[in-house]
Amino acid sequence: MDILESTRPVFDRSRFVRTDADAIARWAATVDPGAICLPTQPHELMPKADPQRLANLVLLLDSLNFCFWATPPWLVTYRGRKWGRYYALVASLARAVEADKSWYKAAWWKCVTRDDLAEVFRGEGEIPMLSERAAIVREIGCNLSETYGGSFLNLLEAARYDAAEIARTLARTFPSFADKAEYEGQAVWILKRAQICAADVAVAMKAAGGPAITGLQRLTAFADYRLPQALRHLGIMRLEQGLEERIERCEEIPAGSPEEIELRVHTIHAVECMHQALAQRGINKAVWLIDEWLWQRSHDRDVEIQHHRTRTIWY
């Protein structure tokens, strides 16, 4: 599951996407390093729980952390405020555990139905891929119960509290975390949600006084549909004209297509190159923090280009 090694041939042979090294150099010379940091999460969405419960909630959250774009948009009202996309997911689960502590338990997840999740995600519009999400929750509940006694903390311990090993263990334990594509007959490991789960649980455990997670610096970028949008806005990611036009028309890019795989692979390697360019200036910013900065940047009002649209459980 070596992400950089397995994605390198795709990066080298890409036909639809390229990474502009000069644009990365210009970015590294002008970006404010202080802005590349962990963003402050809205305090309304921070549940107060012990490390055991909080770790399980992070696992549940990241098992469902994919595909939020919908027409009309999906919005959730929680504590007097409307939330959209990813934050609507966080708000929904915060609301669920507030109403019923059973949502912290893997044994409960094992029996979750589509209707149960529809109630959790109630709001304006509908979260996409609801049936797929219900199946994933059941899978997570069954496998966590059978392998780790229903405790995500036990999985963290088995992975020696190392972020990269946590991601690999997630992929080995849960098929829905084993984010892998095939490009010209070769396996391409990406592990977006597995890696972001490792990062999220590290932040959560630090806040809750749980076990410290090490090795975050070995994580790659979390290849989704928002980072390519920010990279294109910065001129770092360049697309073949036909692909660019399809994305701007909001045409779906099929999951597993060469174009979609190249978008994700170039995301991983572009952010790696951004990390290295900063290091040449003597600035040490972990790849996952640059990822966080790009994700936040993609939501800025001056970003007018479209993100690509792919229906998938991986991101």
Per-residue pLDDT of the chain (315 residues; tens, 9 = 90+): 899 999 999 999 999 999 999 999 999 999 999 999 988 878 788 788 999 999 999 999 999 999 999 999 999 999 999 999 999 999 999 999 999 999 999 999 999 999 999 999 999 999 999 999 999 999 999 999 999 999 999 999 999 999 999 999 999 999 999 999 999 999 999 999 999 999 999 999 999 999 999 999 999 999 999 999 999 999 999 999 999 999 999 999 999 999 999 999 999 999 999 999 999 999 999 999 999 999 999 999 999 999 999 999 999
This model's pTM is above 0.75: yes
- The active-site residue, picked from 50, 224, 300, 302, is 224
Active-site residue, 224 included? yes
DSSP codes, the chain: --HHHHHHHHHHH-SSEEE-HHHHHHHHHHS-GGGSSPPPPPGGG-----HHHHHHHHHHHHHS------SSPPEEEETTEEEEHHHHHHHHHHHHHHH-GGGG-HHHHTT--HHHHHHHT-SBS--S-HHHHHHHHHHHHHHHHHHHTT-HHHHHHHTTTBHHHHHHHHHHH-GGG--EEEETTEEEE--HHHHHHHHHHHHHHHHHT-PPPB-GGG------SSHHHHHHHTTSEEE-HHHHHHHHTTPBPPTTSHHHHHHHHHHHHHHHHHHHHHHHTT----HHHHHHHHHHHTTSTT--SPPPB---S--
